[in-house]
Amino acid sequence: MIIEISACSHASRPVADRICVRRGDRQIRDAKCPHCIPIRSVGMRSAFHLLIIEKNRRFYFMELIWLRQMTESELFLPCLVSGIGGAMSHYVISSHLWPNRHKTYTWWFALRNHRKLGEPCETDIVLDRSGYSLGFSTQRKCALWVSYIISKKSIGVDVERGNIFYPDPDIPEKYRVRPDDFRNTGYDKGHLAPSAAIDYSVKSNNETFAMSNIALQHPKLNRQAWGSLEGVIRGWTHTKGKLAVVTGPLYGKRSTRVNDIPVPRTFYKVVYSFSHNSFIGFIIPNKDIKAGELWNYVMSVGDVERETGYKFFKKLGKKKQQKKKKLDLSWWKDG
């Protein structure tokens, strides 16, 4: 049982050699203090406290606490010195001793399972990268779907970004696309898993330049509406929480071929907010689409499924999947 012993204040001034033992607000007894400290000079605004434990009717002194009221002027200087010292310490640590501290936890993002919500369709080859997963079609020589999970802390880590496209060694050579296959075709090398959103490490960013993650994309679409959509999604990580994104190309029955690579007719992108259990989808033609026209191609994920024949986020529970048919456009457009 813990009992507090305080300087007796029943008299006009504290008594040096007597104490008042209390349990809560009830006085138990007066007693001589075996560890008495002279307190004649202590004013009534101060208090001498001794915490003890009573066991078998014997007192065991545990901790000595000295409490004294301080005026505002007395508190100001220590607080000011403490604040300035804390700010200087933070500056030294963040600027000189540990400038890249925000990069030390990024290994955690490499453990993400980007296929945890399911694969939308069957493909010939499935590859898991540090920052995304993809399903590759040997017939199309392109990924039919790419899925990735992003959050506000996994993007914009400010690593040195790559810019070198390379043939994917994990794709059989017969179906492997090379950067030169896109040269002078009139099409851009369009990222499916975007480089700007997967940059928590040099490795994860470099992997976005594998040609298995690239599609023939109209240059104005790539640089306008598609790029704008990617930027909007990055912004959503700050307001909608962690996001799961699935994207890919769609082909017509008779697709134009460039260097024996089919040209996509449209591109789809679907997004799921884990925190808010909300969905949004887009299907955008592979042609000159301006950034201001982006919202003309928005739809529910249920509508994207009907257009594509794919099944998105199929590992979610049935109640959550029912919301794929709904679209709260104003909520998503609010940013």
What is the Cβ-side half-sphere exposure of residue 269, based on CA atoms within 13 angstroms? 24
DSSP string, 28-93: EEEEE-TT----TT--TTEEEEEEEEEETTEEEEEEEEEEE---HHHHHHHHHHHHHHHHHHHHHI
Taking phi first (over 0 means left), then psi (-120 to 50 degrees means alpha), and beta for anything else, what does residue 241 get? left
- Token pair listed for 316: 């979610």
- Active-site residues, by number, are 191
Looking at the chain, the number of H-run helices and the number of E-run strands are 7, 16
- Token pair listed for 146: 């790419």
Please give the Cα distance from 305 to 91 (Å, whole number).
Answer: 51
User: Residue 257 has what pLDDT?
Assistant: 94
Taking phi first (over 0 means left), then psi (-120 to 50 degrees means alpha), and beta for anything else, what does residue 186 get? left
- Backbone φ and ψ of 230, nearest 5°: -60, -40
205 belongs to an annotated ligand binding site? no
- Token pair listed for 181: 């296959």
Helix (H) or strand (E) run with residue 267 in it: strand 266-273
Please give the Cα distance from 24 to 2 (Å, whole number).
Answer: 10
Please give the order of strands across the beta sheet that includes 243-250.
Answer: 125-128, 133-137, 142-150, 243-250, 266-273, 278-285, 298-299
Class of domain 108-333: alpha beta
Question: CB count, 10 Å around CB of 65?
Answer: 11
What is the residue whose two structure tokens read 């694969």?
Answer: 119
User: Residue 229 has what pLDDT?
Assistant: 97
Three-state SS for 202? Answer: helix
What is the residue whose two structure tokens read 């898993």?
Answer: 193
User: Residues with Cβ < 8 Å from 191, sequence gap 6 or more?
Assistant: 208, 213, 214
271-306: burial string, b at 16+ Cβ within 10 Å, e else: bbbbeeebbbbbbbebeebeeeebeebbbbbbebbe
Q: What is the pLDDT along the chain (335 residues), one digit of tens a residue?
A: 334 444 444 433 343 333 444 444 444 444 444 443 333 333 333 344 444 444 444 444 433 333 344 455 666 777 777 888 888 776 665 555 544 544 555 667 778 899 999 999 999 999 999 999 999 999 999 999 999 999 998 887 766 667 899 999 999 999 999 999 999 999 999 999 999 999 888 889 999 999 999 999 999 999 999 999 999 999 999 999 999 999 999 999 888 999 999 999 999 999 999 999 999 999 999 999 999 999 999 999 999 999 999 999 999 999 999 999 999 999 999 87
With CA atoms as reference, report the closest residue to 271 among 212, 210, 307, 230. Answer: 230
User: Residue 7 has what pLDDT?
Assistant: 44
User: Residue 109 has what pLDDT?
Assistant: 79
DSSP letter (8 states) at residue 264? P
User: Residue 71 has what pLDDT?
Assistant: 52
User: Residues with Cβ < 8 Å from 57, sequence gap 6 or more?
Assistant: none
Query: Is residue 169 within 8 Å of 260, Cβ to Cβ?
Result: no
- Token pair listed for 64: 């000595």
pTM score of the predicted model = 0.70
